[in-house]
Structure 1
Amino acid sequence: MVVLEARNLTVDIPTEDGVVHAVRNVSFSIRPGSLFGIAGESGSGKSVMTQAMMGLLPNADIRGEVRFEGRNLIGLPASEMRKLRGGRIGMIFQDPLSSLHPYYTIGSQIAEVLHAHERISPEEARARVIDMLGRVGIPSPADRYDDYPHQFSGGMRQRVMIAMALILKPALIIADEPTTALDVTVQAQIVALLDDMRRDFGTTVILITHDLGLLSSVADDVMVLYAGHRLECGKAANVFRAPAHPYTAGLLRSTPASYKPGSELAPIKGRPPSLLATPVGCVFAPRCTEALPHCATQPPPLRVYSDGVESLCWLEKGAGTTAPVPPRAKATHHAGQIEPVATVENVHLTYQVGSFFGQKRTLDVLKGVDLTIGKGETVGLVGESGCGKSTLARVIAGLTPATAGTVKVLGRDMGALDASQWREMRRQIQVVFQDPFGSLNPRRRVGSIIGDPFRLHGIASGEERKAKVRHLMEIVGLNPEHYNRFPSEFSGGQRQRIGIARALALNPALIICDEPVSALDVSIQAQVLNLLRRLQRELGLTYLFISHDLSVVRHICDRIAVMQGGKIVELATAERLFADPQHPYTRTLLAASKAPPAPTGGKDRVLAETRQVAS
């Protein structure tokens, strides 16, 4: 028995550049009450496929069948699809803030779903909404009913979206990257909530994500998509134990959790193909380390193995294994031996947030922070959203003055600098931002963007500046010939390299990396992390690395500072922090972090069947 079954689903989207073949002949089935995971890099077709099933791509050419409760969703009249959406199929989107209307209260937006599908009084709707808000973990739900989205944290807004999806008790919920922007503790809460809800209501869940650690911890079945093709599918435990397709194995090899700290990561080489053209052979062949001669010219067959795993691949025995990469020696730093680049002493930051009956109200953001960043080391800064990580980074960079305490960079007090001295100090501190696209001006060419530091500080001009920019592009692995391209013409990983090149331009003493890889797929993330470590070795760089991904922090950082409530509650070397955390909050963070299990091999797996599939 299945709740949803797709047969040869194909989605073509017309664009100005041509027809994008977003999904190609994808078939799968989902058991009632299960959690079905869909994984793959950005652009693999995960979201497009589910949007097509839900009738949310009106201009797309959609072929094949998607049967839900016995009805084919493809070609279903719009009026019938509206009844199914929300009523029998709920959706949870990636960004809960943009999915909620800022002008309407939380309660009224959830109640609107009820009124759209049922004849119900306002009083009964309010009661049901309050009950559901309580079920998804919103404290004091009756009091929060009339609050607005901006009054909720990111995790609470995501709980509101789950309540909205569950309010009509649908048979199926599609959760599209519901935890990507959330901290590890909030991620764990949201995933546990989805798991509880499906057990309580019998709801089936489709979870779309590029986080393999997350999928390995909750999914019953998993499907791996690449360039619109289903490359592997099967029980999650079997797929993660022994990936049958080289692409799945490559994704697992790319995650830092699979390596000892400090070792070189092995990302998937190259980048996904253009979806404007249909490949002749295997779509993954140009990036595959195990490709055979005929992979580039002949469509691969579907291999079905004894444990139920299916792989679209020419390899009969499945993906090979890669020997573990030996760890590089990491620099060790001991108190008293560090040459400080930045020193933070008893820093406080207080904001005035208005007044109440004539009394000024204040908010303490930083509460006596002490931190030293030594030359040539990487110090990690971890903690939940709102703990003060980015605020501390802004104080160190001189962008936000501290209320009290001292910040010294290269021995100079940042609070005592005049305008000209501060401008000079700006050369010594650079920032690499989280969003590689949002931090680049889309209307300016890459050469101009990277060359801005030289222009603003009057260091080089004309051909000299152009030569320096081309050299920087070469250092970070970009083609200097792409000097005149715009940011939109680069991939996400390449755009992050542009941001890193811009930060390197003035040879700064300190680079602050604020969530520099959280928006990237695991294979691209591995490339950027390798680049940051290589540049540190070759140029003697010093990093303050902010992240909520503990596996990334463990891999790249020498020391890690854990922040909670505006204070650093624990500071230790990466090895010691993970081996023997001292503070309860640190132990909570580590317990919430999910990493995919290390593949153990499929020695007991045998090939059961080979099928030819449509090209």
Structure 2
Amino acid sequence: MPLIEAHNVTIRIPTEDGVIYAANSISFSVEAGEVFGIAGESGSGKSVLMQAITGLLPGAEITGEVLFQGQDLLKMSQKELQDLRGSHIGMVFQDPLSSLHPYFTIGSQITEMIHTHRKISAEEARALTVDMLEKVGIEDAESRFDDYPHQFSGGMRQRVMIAMALVLHPPLIIADEPTTALDVTVQVQIMDLLDEMRRTFGTTVIMITHDLGLLANIADHAMVMYAGTRLEIGATESLFSNPAHPYTLGLLKSSPSSQETGGKSLEPIQGNPPSLLDRPRACIFAERCPQVQNQCRSARPPLQKYDDGAEALCHFSAHDTQAMTVDTGLQKSASKRPIVVDVQDVRLTFHAKSMFGKKRSTEVLKGINLQIHKGETFGLVGESGCGKSTLARVIAGLIPASAGEVTLDGVPILSVTGQRWRQMRRHVQLVFQDPVGSLNPRRRIGAIIGDPFRIHDVAHGAEQKKKVQELMEMVGLNPEHYNRFPSEFSGGQRQRIGIARALALKPSLIIFDEPVSALDVSIQAQILNLMQELQRDLNLTYLFISHDLSVVRHVCDKIAVMDAGQIVELNQSDKLFAEPTHPFTRKLLDAIQDPPPLQESSARKLVETEPAAAVFDGAVMEASL
């Protein structure tokens, strides 16, 4: 008997603009003790679905049935759901720093949850908390009980969140993007921890993520959602190696892990998801589907059922889906290029005083040597805190090195001061990880992109506007949106704004610091393709910082691996991945979790086609027409 079973769950959210159909007749079941994955782009309804069935979506109109241990969650009162959350259903969210209150110790926050559901003494609650903190890998848990969230690393904070979710041994854990912002090695540690908790306590896990490689390696079954609709469901192994729906295949082909090194273009899913205020009349994916036919736009798709248990909402069979082709793109030239950046024995030491006045020195860069050539992409990888971003700031001239030399376009930047450095600033630009935080929400994008022209007295007035609109068109933005604010753009579009701003002064070097880590896999593919196209057309030079080794493998010509402020290995990308020499490099590569390779669909047999009328809630579909 399934632990949780959903039947035809439909979620309507009333807004001033109309009713949003956030989920449309979603059905799934999760067996006790398994990991069930939910994948899809942002806005597909993954998180909303879980929030709705656990009572965390006030104001929504929810119909259908969700049976949890035989009880219908949708018929429970808020008080009953509140009693259920924590004691029977644990939650682990994407950002542990936002989920943990900064003013309270981690121990007090966990014991508060315990006291909410159990009447036990403070000593017993503390003992339970310390025991669970030890189980999730927090060293010296007894003393760290009274530490605050900011005193923990990102991975340790996520372990605290897992401890909070597991401390009462709930039968179900819902993990919403629990590893997105973490290093690849920490991701593996967190997933191993969840798997160990599952085996120890028999916990069932529902995992929400856009990381297809991660999902393919840890989930037993998975559901793929798009625009509030379940498009495919089935066993993970067959779903990712032999997808039956074009959308699932599109997600897989958008992933850098689907390609080897060599700079080939990815194949992103073109277009944008439809408005949930005005749903398409037939197939919800039709306008973005590469194999769309007339019937896709005129008739609701049937539910195709296969002999391996997979189900897909599509007019075509799995064999037709697998016939889609891949754009192989262009190879980068491997010709000899002049040196743009030359870093020689760069060291950096931070000095600080303790609260008792004692001086303390921390060496964060320990003799860095590297060269970046014209037109190449140089990758910098390593765990958080290894010094990647600090080195990038030294190269950009934002932090002076304690020793050594950085040469940019033949000029030693450490000796440049005053007005000359202002001119040198034109030669190096940065694109940051968070496209939201790096754009001023109160300024229009025309002014944001035009700042370099204004600051360096390159262009003003009508000439500046013309140049900005040319940049917008170059990076795939509509020039007519010159006067819009950042909030009016999607995450991928905001990152394009950042790239346009970086390109304005035609710099010798662009530093990309985790530029795609916060983006969905398809949007990520679009940005990576854009970077490669611009590099090819303009002969740009990139320093690319990332913890996603699949992305680095795809875009970089050379890769330097950093650990504890040192470069422990530097090699051509293909050679480094094929023959790593340093133990730390091998540790990073072992942590990569790619989906299985695509296979022929001949082994999968179609056993039943369920008419569309039996799949959808008629009232919902008619309301959306």
Aligned to 1:127: 127
Partners of 1:327 and 1:563 lie apart in 2 by 30
Partners of 2:578 and 2:10 lie apart in 1 by 48
Aligned to 1:101: 101
- What is the SS of the residue equivalent to 2:309? coil
Q: What amino acid maps onto 2:323 in structure 1?
A: T
Aligned to 1:66: 66
Partners of 1:317 and 1:255 lie apart in 2 by 20
Aligned to 1:176: 176
Aligned to 1:11: 11
Q: Within 5 A, what are the aligned runs for 1:434-445?
A: 434-445=433-444
Once the two structures are TM-superposed, the CA of residue 410 in structure 1 deviates from its matched residue by 1.2
Single out whichever of 192-201 and 436-445 deviates more from structure 2: 436-445
Partners of 2:197 and 2:323 lie apart in 1 by 37
Single out whichever of 402-411 and 508-517 deviates more from structure 2: 402-411
Q: Within 5 A, what are the aligned runs for 1:420-439?
A: 420-439=419-438
Partners of 2:55 and 2:518 lie apart in 1 by 27
Single out whichever of 473-482 and 314-323 deviates more from structure 2: 314-323
Once the two structures are TM-superposed, the CA of residue 102 in structure 1 deviates from its matched residue by 0.9
Single out whichever of 21-30 and 360-369 deviates more from structure 2: 360-369
Aligned to 1:295: 296
Indicate the percent of aligned positions where both proteins have the same amino acid.
62
Partners of 1:213 and 1:377 lie apart in 2 by 27
Single out whichever of 83-92 and 346-355 deviates more from structure 2: 346-355
Aligned to 2:376: 377
Aligned to 1:535: 534
Partners of 1:385 and 1:284 lie apart in 2 by 38
Once the two structures are TM-superposed, the CA of residue 355 in structure 1 deviates from its matched residue by 2.5
Once the two structures are TM-superposed, the CA of residue 509 in structure 1 deviates from its matched residue by 0.5
Q: What amino acid maps onto 1:224 in structure 2?
A: V
Partners of 2:16 and 2:343 lie apart in 1 by 53
Does residue 242 (structure 1) correspond to residue 242 (structure 2)? The answer is: yes
Aligned to 1:329: 331
Q: What amino acid maps onto 2:32 in structure 1?
A: P
Q: What amino acid maps onto 1:549 in structure 2?
A: D
Partners of 2:99 and 2:187 lie apart in 1 by 18
The answer (yes or no) to whether the contact 2:431–2:499 under 8 Å persists in 1 is yes
Aligned to 1:592: 591
Partners of 2:282 and 2:113 lie apart in 1 by 46
Aligned length: 612
Partners of 1:347 and 1:317 lie apart in 2 by 55
Partners of 1:24 and 1:525 lie apart in 2 by 27
Partners of 2:472 and 2:542 lie apart in 1 by 20
Partners of 2:573 and 2:447 lie apart in 1 by 38
Partners of 2:359 and 2:318 lie apart in 1 by 70
**CA offset digits 1:316-372 (Å, max 9, x no partner):** 345223445546333336xxx552211111111122232365430122211111111
The answer (yes or no) to whether the contact 1:172–1:203 under 8 Å persists in 2 is yes
Structure 1 unaligned spans of 5+? none
Once the two structures are TM-superposed, the CA of residue 491 in structure 1 deviates from its matched residue by 1.7
Does residue 304 (structure 1) correspond to residue 305 (structure 2)? The answer is: yes
Partners of 1:321 and 1:97 lie apart in 2 by 44
Partners of 2:23 and 2:418 lie apart in 1 by 56
Partners of 2:144 and 2:553 lie apart in 1 by 38
- What is the SS of the residue equivalent to 1:86? coil
Aligned to 1:280: 281
Once the two structures are TM-superposed, the CA of residue 111 in structure 1 deviates from its matched residue by 1.0
Q: What amino acid maps onto 2:396 in structure 1?
A: A
The answer (yes or no) to whether the contact 2:243–2:318 under 8 Å persists in 1 is no
Aligned to 2:322: 320
Partners of 1:448 and 1:607 lie apart in 2 by 55
Q: What amino acid maps onto 1:329 in structure 2?
A: Q
Partners of 2:353 and 2:324 lie apart in 1 by 58
Q: Within 5 A, what are the aligned runs for 1:133-532?
A: 133-261=133-261, 262-318=263-319, 319-323=321-325, 325-326=327-328, 328-332=330-334, 338-355=337-354, 357-532=356-531
Single out whichever of 66-75 and 499-508 deviates more from structure 2: 66-75
Once the two structures are TM-superposed, the CA of residue 220 in structure 1 deviates from its matched residue by 0.3
Partners of 1:323 and 1:60 lie apart in 2 by 41
The answer (yes or no) to whether the contact 2:380–2:545 under 8 Å persists in 1 is yes
- What is the SS of the residue equivalent to 2:368? strand
The answer (yes or no) to whether the contact 1:10–1:26 under 8 Å persists in 2 is yes
TM-score by length of 2: 0.96
- What is the SS of the residue equivalent to 2:580? coil
Aligned to 2:54: 54
- What is the SS of the residue equivalent to 1:10? strand
Partners of 2:99 and 2:557 lie apart in 1 by 39
Q: What amino acid maps onto 2:594 in structure 1?
A: A
**CA offset digits 1:244-297 (Å, max 9, x no partner):** 000000001111111232111111111111111122001000000111211112
The answer (yes or no) to whether the contact 1:241–1:602 under 8 Å persists in 2 is no
Aligned to 2:572: 573
Once the two structures are TM-superposed, the CA of residue 17 in structure 1 deviates from its matched residue by 2.5
Q: What amino acid maps onto 1:240 in structure 2?
A: F
Partners of 1:126 and 1:115 lie apart in 2 by 10
Partners of 2:256 and 2:87 lie apart in 1 by 41
Single out whichever of 47-56 and 365-374 deviates more from structure 2: 365-374
Output the aligned Cα RMSD: 1.3
Q: What amino acid maps onto 2:441 in structure 1?
A: P
Aligned to 1:42: 42
**CA offset digits 1:425-470 (Å, max 9, x no partner):** 1111100111112211122212111111101111101111111111
The answer (yes or no) to whether the contact 2:346–2:405 under 8 Å persists in 1 is yes
**CA offset digits 1:142-175 (Å, max 9, x no partner):** 1211111111110000000000000000010000
Structure 2 unaligned spans of 5+? none
Partners of 1:569 and 1:459 lie apart in 2 by 42
The answer (yes or no) to whether the contact 1:7–1:27 under 8 Å persists in 2 is yes
Q: What amino acid maps onto 1:488 in structure 2?
A: S
